[in-house]
Structures are given as structure tokens and as C-alpha cells.
């Protein structure tokens, strides 16, 4: 058996052995994803939405009954929101196609919740294994990806607060209050003879509206941050591997063995992440684009009105900020997926730099050739897709933004006639 055959045999056996590993953090760190500050924050937030992200078996068994009860209540509430949406559109005799379009946000939230619950076990395992691998490969004693998702978290919080502010601004008249009560109680509005009962119903309908806003706008934003968190771990993994490949003291054979080991680990983590995240990312992008199109249409309508800078100034400013938040959320998630590809390319560049730095007489050409092939193929294996339908890269983001701008221009042209 020659050097090339032995190297390729080593590659196949290494992949087979590593694919069966439940990789754990190195002994020097003794860290898990449960100790990471960003994950702890996400776990607390998703507990509010009755989704348990905990990867610890003891905590899972302790909270299982309580979480299941909350899940059933939250599922009933989401179904209730979908029903009142459908009822309101049929009451207004809205055409079926327009009703589906207007209900797209609610439908996507339902799909997001179903997919998240369906893939929850795989998602927990993917985050745990990815972070454990980061602790093994990375040089940082306490690796954290919290700073990378802080901007997304801030944008999501601001957008949610703005929607609640829009609701408060819209409830400045008794007619609007009656409209919300009619919406949430299927057309039944209590009489106002008893002020105590009227105030109780007003408070209850306001609570339902705020919960509606949190469910419809905060929950998808948190799912976006969850996707960004997993993507940040993959980016950090690639950067850690790129740093290891910068070491010039490696022989080609040592570099090949180390790269094959980590390549198989990261490829496995990426495939698990893709299976868990890509369906969710598909609907997150669909939700953001749906909101952007609707907000753009509302903004054009307000902008073309005669009283933009008078009675509707507050509404105009809020809608502008919501549009900015939506665009920022879209670009932040797109930037995360773009960084995954760029970090994979940096691994390939560092391997090529390592190979080019070696003298010909010091090179094991069989190992050199195998390492060259694997490094060249590496970026193609680290790709994020929208449920396998399309790769999420810079071209997709540019096309989507271009479509929104074109839609706004068409709306302006139509409104002039």
C-alpha cells in the first residue's frame, strides 16, 4: 500500500470513528453550553414561550411536567390567535387570497412553533456538541458568543417595544378600544353600564393584545436570535480551526492528521446544525420578508398622505423605526450566514499558506495531496441553506432587499393614479 492509499484509508477510518463520538470539552475548561452566558439568557427567554432548551438531564426531568402544561396552554393560545385572525378577515368579507396574505405572519409563527418543538431534541444536541467542540478546539479558556448576538437581541427588544407603543398610541379613543374588544372576544362587546366590568374587559383585552404582540413579533425575533447563536458557534469553530492551521511548526503529516480529526468533527456538527436549524431559518426569513413587505406598503400609504407631518407624525416615526428594525434583523441573520462561509474560506486559506511555507525536501507529498484536497473541499461542506431550497449567502440577501425596494417603487407608482 502506498502513502496515498494509507492516507485516504486513515481519512475514512477517522471519519467513521469520529462520527460515533459524543465530543466533550477538554479537561482544562470543564465547560458546557449550560455555563455560557448567551445560552443561559436564551434558555430563560424561551421558557416564557414554553420551550425548554436545557441540555441537562436532571433539569429536563425536573421541569418536564411543568413545561408540558405550559406548552399545551401556549399552543391553545396560538391556535386562538389564528382563529380570531380568520374570523376578522371573513367578517370584513376579505377575499380568500388577501386573507391568506394578511394572515401570513400568524401562519408562519404557527409553523415556527411546530418546527421548533419538532426539532427541539436535535437542536439541543447540536448546540451542546458544537459548544463542546469549540471548548476542545479553541484557545480561549471561557469561549463565549454572547457579544455576537447582543445586537440582534437589542433590535428584537426595540421592535417589540415599538409595536406595543403603536398599540398604546392606537388606543387613544373609545372606538379603537371597542374594536380590539370585538376582535378578541369574537364580536361580543360588554355593555358599559357597569364601569367596573367595562374596565376589567378593557384590561383583559389589553393584556391579550400585548400577548398577541409578544407572540407575533418577539417570539420570531427570539427564534432568529437562537439561529444566530448556533451560527455564531459554527463561525467560532471555523475561526478556532483556522488559528490552529496557522502554526508553522507542524509537519505536513501532523497537520493532515489534526485537520482530518477536526474536519470530521466540525462537518458532523455542521450537518446536525443544518438538520435542526435550516427548516426554522426558512420560515424566519419568510416571516421577516412578509413583515418587510407589509410595513413597506403601510409606510408608502402613510408617506403619500397629506397629514404625514401633522396627525400621523408619531405613527410615521414608529413605522420607520419598525422598518429599520426589520431590515437590521434581516441583514444581521444574513451576515451570520455569510460569516460562516467566510470563516470556512479562511480555514482553507490558512491550510494553503501552511502548505506553501514548507520546503519541497520536507514535504510528504501523499499527505500534502490529501490535505490539499480536503482543505479545498472544506467551504463547500460548511453551507447554510433554507431547508435545502437555496443557499443563504450574500446574493440571496441582495436579491431580497432589491425585491423590497422594487415593491416600494411599484406601490408609489400605483398610488399616484
What is the chain's mean pLDDT, rounded?
A: 73
| Location of C-alpha cell 353600564 | 193
pLDDT digits (tens, 9 = 90+) for 343-360: 888 888 888 888 887 776
Residue 87, H or E segment = helix 57-91
Residue for cell digits 380570531? Answer: 84
Confidence of residue 314 (pLDDT cuts 50, 70, 90): low
Provide mean pLDDT across the span 229-255. 81
Q: How many CA atoms lie within 13 A of 291 on its CB side?
A: 29
Alpha carbon distance 30, 17 (integer Å): 23
Domain boundaries, the chain: 60-416
- Report the alpha-carbon distance of residue 234 to residue 270 in Å, rounded: 7
Euclidean distance between the first and final Cα of the chain, in Å?
A: 79
% of the chain beyond a pLDDT of 90: 0
Of 156, 160, 166, the residue nearest 318 (C-alpha) = 166
pTM for the model: 0.78
Does residue 19 carry a pLDDT above 80? no
Distance CA 189, CA 178 (A): 7
Do residues 357 and 205 touch, judged by C-beta distance below 8 A? no
Q: Are residues 242 and 343 in contact, defined by beta-carbon separation less than 8 angstroms? A: yes
How many Å apart are CA 207 and CA 224, to the nearest integer?
A: 25
* Cα(67)–Cα(61) distance, integer angstroms: 10
> pLDDT tens, 176-193?
667 766 777 766 766 666
Q: How far apart are CA 258 and CA 254, in angstroms?
A: 6
Q: Does the pLDDT value for residue 220 go beyond 50?
A: yes
Rounded CA gap, 331 and 387, in Å?
19
The separation between CA 301 and the C-alpha centre of its own chain, rounded to angstroms, equals 30
Mean pLDDT to the nearest integer, 98-122: 79
Q: Tell me what percent of the residues of the chain surpass a pLDDT of 70.
A: 65
In this prediction, residue 142 carries a pLDDT of 64
Residue 152 Cα to chain centre, angstroms: 10
CA–CA distance, 189 with 286 (Å, rounded to integer): 35
What pLDDT, on the 0 to 100 scale, is given for residue 360?
67
Longest alpha-carbon distance in the chain: 97
Based on C-alpha coordinates, what's the Rg of the chain? Answer: 26
Helical segments of 304-361, H only: 313-356
Structure confidence by residue, pLDDT tens digits, 375-398: 888 877 777 887 777 777 767 777
Q: Cell 438531564 identifies what position?
A: 57
Identify the DSSP state of 245.
T
Q: Count Cβ atoms within 10 A of the Cβ of residue 252 and give its class: 0-12 exposed, 13-18 middle, 19 or more buried.
A: buried
What does the pLDDT average to over 198-204? 77
Q: Report residue 354 CA to chain centroid gap.
A: 35
DSSP 189: -
Cβ-contact 307, 198 below 8 angstroms:
no
User: Cα–Cα distance between 82 and 113 in angstroms, integer?
Assistant: 13
What are the grid coordinates assigned to 390, written together? 437555496
Angstrom distance (rounded) from CA 406 to CA 155: 25
Task: Provide the grid cell at 42.
Answer: 436564551
Per-residue pLDDT, 139: 72
Judged against a pLDDT cut of 70, whether residue 5 lies above it is answered with no
Query: CA-CA distance, 92 to 84, in Å (whole number)?
Result: 12
**Mean pLDDT of the region 299-321:** 64
Supply 311's cell numbers.
Answer: 396627525
CA-closest candidate to residue 124, choices 279, 266, 276: 276
Of 246-250, 277-281, 410-414, give the lowest mean pLDDT range. 246-250
If DSSP codes are grouped into helix, strand and coil, which group holds residue 95?
coil
- Give the pLDDT confidence of 127-171 residue by residue, as tens digits: 899 988 888 887 766 666 666 666 666 666 666 666 666 666 666
Amino acid at each position: 500500500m502506498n502513502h496515498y492509499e494509507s492516507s485516504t484509508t486513515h481519512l475514512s477510518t477517522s471519519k467513521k470513528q469520529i462520527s460515533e463520538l459524543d465530543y466533550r470539552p477538554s479537561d482544562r475548561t470543564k465547560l458546557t453550553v449550560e455555563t455560557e452566558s448567551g445560552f443561559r439568557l436564551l434558555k430563560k427567554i424561551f421558557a416564557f414561550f414554553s420551550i425548554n432548551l436545557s441540555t441537562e438531564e436532571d433539569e429536563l426531568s425536573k421541569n418536564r411536567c411543568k413545561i408540558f402544561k405550559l406548552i399545551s396552554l401556549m399552543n391553545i393560545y396560538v391556535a386562538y390567535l389564528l382563529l380570531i385572525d380568520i374570523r376578522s378577515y371573513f367578517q370584513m368579507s376579505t377575499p380568500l387570497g388577501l386573507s391568506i396574505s394578511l394572515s401570513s405572519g400568524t401562519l408562519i409563527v404557527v409553523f415556527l412553533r411546530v418546527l421548533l418543538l419538532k426539532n427541539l431534541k436535535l437542536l439541543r444536541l447540536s448546540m451542546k456538541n458544537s459548544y463542546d467542540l469549540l471548548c476542545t478546539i479553541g484557545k480561549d479558556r471561557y469561549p463565549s458568543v454572547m457579544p455576537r448576538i447582543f445586537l440582534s437581541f437589542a433590535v428584537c427588544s426595540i421592535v417589540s417595544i415599538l409595536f406595543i407603543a403603536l398599540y398604546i398610541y392606537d388606543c387613544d379613543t373609545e372606538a379603537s378600544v371597542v374594536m380590539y374588544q370585538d376582535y378578541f372576544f369574537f364580536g361580543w362587546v360588554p355593555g358599559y353600564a357597569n364601569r367596573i366590568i367595562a374596565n376589567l374587559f378593557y384590561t383583559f383585552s389589553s393584556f391579550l393584545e400585548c400577548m398577541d404582540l409578544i407572540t407575533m413579533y418577539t417570539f420570531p425575533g427570539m427564534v432568529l436570535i437562537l439561529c444566530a447563536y448556533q451560527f455564531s458557534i459554527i463561525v467560532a469553530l471555523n475561526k478556532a480551526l483556522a488559528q490552529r492551521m496557522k502554526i508553522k511548526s507542524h509537519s505536513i503529516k501532523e497537520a493532515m492528521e489534526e485537520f482530518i480529526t477536526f474536519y470530521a468533527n466540525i462537518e458532523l456538527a455542521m450537518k446536525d446544525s443544518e438538520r435542526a436549524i435550516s427548516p426554522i431559518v426558512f420560515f424566519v426569513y419568510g416571516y421577516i420578508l412578509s413583515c418587510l413587505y407589509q410595513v413597506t406598503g403601510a409606510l408608502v400609504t402613510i408617506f403619500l398622505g397629506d397629514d404625514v407631518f401633522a396627525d400621523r407624525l408619531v405613527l410615521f416615526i414608529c413605522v420607520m423605526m419598525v422598518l429599520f428594525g426589520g431590515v437590521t434583523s434581516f441583514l444581521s441573520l444574513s451576515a451570520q450566514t455569510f460569516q460562516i462561509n467566510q470563516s470556512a474560506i479562511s480555514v482553507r486559506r490558512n491550510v494553503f499558506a501552511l502548505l506553501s511555507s514548507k520546503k519541497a525536501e520536507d514535504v510528504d507529498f501523499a499527505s500534502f495531496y490529501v490535505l490539499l484536497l480536503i482543505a479545498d473541499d472544506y467551504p463547500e461542506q460548511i453551507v447554510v441553506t433554507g431547508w435545502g431550497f437555496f443557499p443563504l449567502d450574500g446574493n440571496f440577501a441582495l436579491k431580497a432587499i432589491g425585491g423590497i425596494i422594487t415593491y416600494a417603487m411599484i406601490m408609489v407608482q400605483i398610488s399616484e393614479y
